Amino acid sequence: MAWCAGRNDVSSTSSASKVAAKTRRRARPRALALGCLLGGVAALVGLVLAIAITGRDPVSGDWILERGAKPVVSVDQFAVVPGDQSPAPVVTRTGRVRLRDAGMRVVVLGRAIGCCEWCGVPGFLREDGSRYLEVHHIVSLADDGADHPLNMIALCPNHHREAHHSVAREAMRAEMAARVRRLMGPGTDRGPHPDE
């Protein structure tokens, strides 16, 4: 049986699907709280029920949950390599630095489920099985942008460079802000907007 969260319909699947061990369930994210809790809760639910988020429907935007599947793990350029004990290089600098919240990066990478939120293409596969994406601030921290998921988007490396260096970066910025608000779901208009 297939089920879509937020809808009251249950439909039977084809007999070929019944033979398959996997059952797909789709759920649309409803608010920022769901987006923030999704990674941890999905991991806990995944351990208990053996269900993993495996993608997002490109047409409806619904999350795709799959029983028996391995969850998609996303990382970015700031991820720590497990077992890397080499000392970090020492650099002396003076100036102001805005500290980033690593938890917000994790929320954005979890929301992306391994796919660029601009083009929808999966990030490249790393040796550890995770998908590589880069988290971009739509309005940069240097320009007083918020370090908040409503001002952050997970991009493939090509689109991350384009967001910084393209002649169309201002148009991209406006479209990215609109996409992120749609991805985060209803009620996100009360959070910090990238243009504030």
Which residue from 194, 80, 96, 195 is spatially nearest to 148, judged by alpha carbons?
A: 194
How far apart are alpha carbons 145 and 124 in whole angstroms?
28
Mean pLDDT on 172-180: 95
| 148-to-6, 9, 52, 151, 175 alpha-carbon distances in Å | 26, 35, 25, 5, 17
- Specify the higher pLDDT residue, 196 or 102: 102
Residues found in the chain: 196
- Specify the higher pLDDT residue, 22 or 92: 92
Banded pLDDT at 106 (limits 50, 70, 90): very high
pTM for the whole thing? 0.56
- Tell me the two tokens of residue 4: 């879509």
Least confident of 95-99, 119-123, 151-155, 190-194: 190-194
What count of other Cβ atoms lies within 10 Å of the Cβ of residue 141? 14
Task: Classify residue 76 by burial, with Cβ atoms within 10 Å: 0-12, 13-18, 19+.
Answer: buried
